[in-house]
């Protein structure tokens, strides 16, 4: 869509994003307004992986309620950290790009994509609509919730079929027959001239064929229990589409087939989760070899594990005495049927941990009464650093605390300006200035304190 707009003269690849926003739109970080459309399309804009103000109502559908207003608030208030990486994948890049192109051409992104790209290419079974007969997705051996991307729909969220994607690739193999010939050719042009390079959304790698090499153009993604791979090479007039309703990465398989190499083995099917899990066997304080400690707790929904300085993360049972979180897995060990330790798998590295206690450490705290005015004084936004925001909301008798990309937690008072959750995994001490106003907080996570300053994010008016 960017390539087509550039071909028609509506934008340039080097157009800075501030030119596609209202003239009176202000950036807290002027350099952010100078980011170009090409930098967004090639993931060279230096944006964070997630917007700090991504505060979902449902943590298993992170982006669903992220609105255009939220996106404008991010642009107006975000300040990049000094030395932030210029080249890193970010959902924000393509999401913001789609939103800006829609703004510039006076249509919502999804409508513009349909009218200018999908319809001319004959892709009749591709849209953001869940009613297309979408299969059930699977992640880590369990069914997954379908994701929706709200204002960041340009990043992902399209539902499509093998037939439609083959239609798309066929027109990439023979663009001379396509109504979008110029855009298809422009999108695959390389930017940087490296061995492994990128186009406008595409990855491009040189594939050898005897003494010559030809560009192999591909794209792969994994979202919410699904995976996709699209790739083609014009020297052989070959194209490949792989779609899977599980979150296993398909890129190595797709590239190997297009390079005519022996493909890697398919991922092993996850073992079925045990029907009955003795949760009471696992809680306690554990120490990893080398000194790092973590706490395992049991609650009504299952187990959680919390490392020092981090939020507690839920664990799901995957086998007898085996559990997995988002980034690591645990295999608990027993002696005489008693859990004595665990083996942690972190990104393929295995470390052992010893169980130090049979109960999770906890401090008994009385509940303090707090009036509505005092709770309201605490409500607002607090920032640790450029990429992590905390939002505090006032409830009837407690506060809600939510960190970027996490579900909200309920905290109750146990002393003036001191709050904690029911399990003791999170404690907050609010800080006040000389006049008594709340200007920050200290967040304690399993014994590690992190300070956050109170901030006020302005929200630009919609136009």
Closest CA to 180 of 192, 188, 172: 172
- 111 CB contacts (<8 Å, ≥6 apart)? 102
Supply the DSSP symbol for 342.
Answer: E
pTM of the prediction?
0.91
Q: Is the pLDDT of residue 389 over 80?
A: yes
Residue 415 φ then ψ, to 5°:
-165, 170
CA angle 265, 269, 273 (to 5 degrees): 160
Tens digit of each residue's pLDDT (9 = 90 or more) over 32-74? 999 999 999 999 999 998 999 999 988 889 999 999 999 999 9
Residue 327: what pLDDT? Answer: 81
- Residue 61, judged by CB atoms within 10 A of its CB (0-12, 13-18, 19+), counts as middle
Sign (positive/negative) of CA torsion 150, 103, 82, 196?
Answer: positive
**Backbone φ/ψ region at 47: left (φ over 0), alpha (ψ -120 to 50), beta:** beta
∠ CA 242-248-253, rounded to 5°: 50
Q: Which range among 212-216, 236-240, 321-325 has the greatest average pLDDT?
A: 236-240
427 has pLDDT over 70: yes
pLDDT tens sequence across 196-236: 689 999 999 988 877 788 899 999 999 889 999 999 999 99
Across the range 174-182, mean pLDDT stands at 96
d(CA 181, CA 184): 5
The pLDDT value given to residue 226:
94
Angle 68-77/91-105 helices, nearest 10 degrees? 110
d(CA 46, CA 54): 17
User: What backbone phi and psi angles, to 5 degrees, belong to 292?
Assistant: -70, 140
What is the Cα–Cα distance from 200 to 114, expressed in whole angstroms? 19
Q: Where do we find the tokens 């991504």?
A: 54
| Residue 384 near residue 378 (C-beta atoms within 8 A) | no
Pairwise CA distance, residues 29 & 51, whole Å? 15
The secondary structure of 220-242 as a DSSP string is: EEEETTEEEEEEEETTTTEEEEE
The pLDDT value recorded for residue 170 is 97
Q: State how beta strands 238-244 and 313-319 pair.
A: unpaired
Are 128 and 157 spatial neighbours (Cβ–Cβ below 8 Å)? Answer: yes
Any idea which fold 372-455 has? Lipocalin (2.40.128)
What does pLDDT average to over the chain?
A: 92
User: What's the whole-number mean pLDDT along residues 122-126?
Assistant: 95
CA distance 8 to 243: 33
Asked whether residue 76 carries a pLDDT value surpassing 90, the answer given is yes
Residue 195 has pLDDT above 60, yes or no: no
What is d(CA 282, CA 296) in angstroms, rounded to the nearest whole number?
7
Are 2-258 and 372-455 in the same CATH fold? no
Q: Of the candidates 242, 248, 240, which has an alpha carbon nearest to the alpha carbon of residue 222?
A: 248
Three-state DSSP state, 186: helix
Q: Please determine, for residue 462, whether its predicted confidence score (pLDDT) is greater than 70.
A: no
Hey, what CATH class is 2-258 in?
alpha beta
List the domain boundaries for the chain: 2-258, 279-355, 372-455
């Amino acid at each position: 869509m960017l390539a087509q707009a550039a071909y028609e003269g509506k934008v340039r690849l080097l157009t800075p994003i501030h030119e596609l926003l209202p003239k009176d739109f202000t950036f807290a970080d002027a350099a952010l307004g100078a980011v170009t459309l090409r930098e967004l399309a090639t993931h060279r804009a230096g944006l964070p992986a997630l917007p700090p103000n991504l505060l979902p109502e449902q943590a298993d559908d992170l982006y669903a309620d992220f609105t255009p207003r939220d996106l404008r608030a991010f642009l107006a208030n975000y300040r990049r950290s000094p030395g932030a990486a210029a080249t890193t994948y970010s959902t924000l890049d393509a999401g913001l790009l789609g939103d800006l192109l829609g703004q510039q051409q006076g249509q919502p992104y999804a409508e513009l994509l349909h009218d200018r790209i999908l319809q001319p290419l004959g892709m009749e079974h591709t849209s953001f609509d869940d009613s297309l007969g979408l299969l059930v997705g699977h992640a880590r051996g369990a069914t997954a919730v379908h994701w929706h991307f709200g204002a960041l729909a340009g990043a992902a969220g399209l539902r499509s079929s093998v037939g439609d994607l083959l239609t798309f690739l066929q027109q990439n193999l023979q663009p001379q027959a396509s109504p979008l010939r110029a855009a298809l050719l422009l999108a695959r042009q390389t930017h940087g001239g490296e061995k492994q390079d990128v186009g406008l959304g595409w990855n491009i790698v040189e594939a050898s064929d005897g003494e010559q090499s030809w560009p192999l153009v591909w794209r792969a993604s994994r979202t919410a229990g699904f995976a996709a791979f699209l790739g083609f090479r014009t020297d052989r007039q070959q194209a490949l589409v792989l779609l899977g309703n599980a979150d296993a990465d398909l890129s190595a398989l797709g590239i190997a087939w297009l390079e005519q190499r022996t493909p890697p083995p398919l991922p092993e099917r996850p073992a079925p989760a045990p029907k009955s899990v003795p949760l009471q066997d696992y809680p306690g304080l554990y120490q990893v070899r080398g000194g790092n400690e973590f706490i395992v707790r049991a609650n009504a929904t299952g187990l959680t594990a919390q490392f020092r300085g981090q939020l507690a993360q839920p664990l799901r049972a995957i086998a007898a005495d085996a559990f997995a979180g988002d980034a690591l897995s645990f295999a608990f060990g027993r002696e005489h049927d008693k859990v004595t330790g665990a083996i942690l798998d972190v990104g393929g590295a295995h470390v052992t941990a010893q169980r130090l206690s049979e109960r999770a450490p906890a401090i008994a705290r009385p509940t303090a009464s707090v009036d509505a005015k005092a709770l309201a004084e605490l409500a607002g936004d607090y920032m640790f650093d450029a990429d992590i925001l905390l939002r505090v909301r006032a409830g009837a008798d407690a506060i809600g605390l939510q960190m970027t990309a996490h579900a909200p937690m309920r905290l109750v008072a146990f002393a003036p300006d001191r709050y904690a959750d029911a399990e003791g995994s999170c404690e907050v001490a609010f800080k006040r200035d000389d006049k008594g106003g709340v200007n920050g907080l200290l967040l304690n996570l399993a014994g590690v304190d992190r300070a956050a300053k109170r901030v006020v994010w302005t929200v630009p008016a919609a136009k």
